[in-house]
Amino acid sequence: MPSEKSRLLLLVKDPHWTFVSWRLSRQDMEDAIARHGGAGGQLTVRIYDVTGLRFDGQNAHSSFDVTVSEEADHWYLNFWSSDRNYCADIGYSYLDGGFVALCRSNVIYLPRDHPSDSTEETWSTIHLGNGRRLS
């Protein structure tokens, strides 16, 4: 039977809140700890602003970390800016500044938090059949 893969999922709630959930395989967690050289890290979700980028893991506009409980499998995150694209890694952060990622999420778009600046009117006509229409 193949081993379970770690997964991280970001879902948009509104322009400033997201829901993040994860499932981490024990093997991936052990491998990440071994890559750093031992235990002592804190489970962390690292959020990247990747708006307009082909993200390579290093070139985000900005990022921030949220330490999460080892017992948790989901979290709600508050974002500072709307109208942006974000993705996340989950992994272990260490006091020496190191971060070892377990897996990366999907990219999401947080919609803007204000009405459109466009004031141009647009009208549509819906044809209902039998010569009737709704305007």
Model pLDDT for residues 88-124, shown as the tens digit of each residue: 999 999 988 889 999 999 999 999 887 767 778 777 7
Find the DSSP H helices in 16-84. 26-36
Q: For residue 120, is it within any domain?
A: no
What pTM does this model have? 0.80
Pair 43, 65: CB distance under 8 Å: no
Highest mean pLDDT pick, 12-16, 124-128, 130-134? 12-16
Q: Which whole-number Å values give the CA distances from 112 to 55, 77, 81, 82, in the listed order?
A: 21, 17, 8, 5
CATH number of the domain encompassing residue 11: 2.60.40.10
Q: For residue 94, is it within any domain?
A: yes
Q: For residue 56, is it within any domain?
A: yes
Q: For residue 15, is it within any domain?
A: yes
Q: What does R_g of the chain's alpha carbons equal in angstroms? A: 21
Structural domain harbouring 100: 7-113
Q: For residue 89, is it within any domain?
A: yes
Q: For residue 51, is it within any domain?
A: yes
Q: For residue 132, is it within any domain?
A: no
How far apart CA 29 and CA 12 sit, in angstroms, is 26
Q: For residue 133, is it within any domain?
A: no
Domain count, the chain: 1
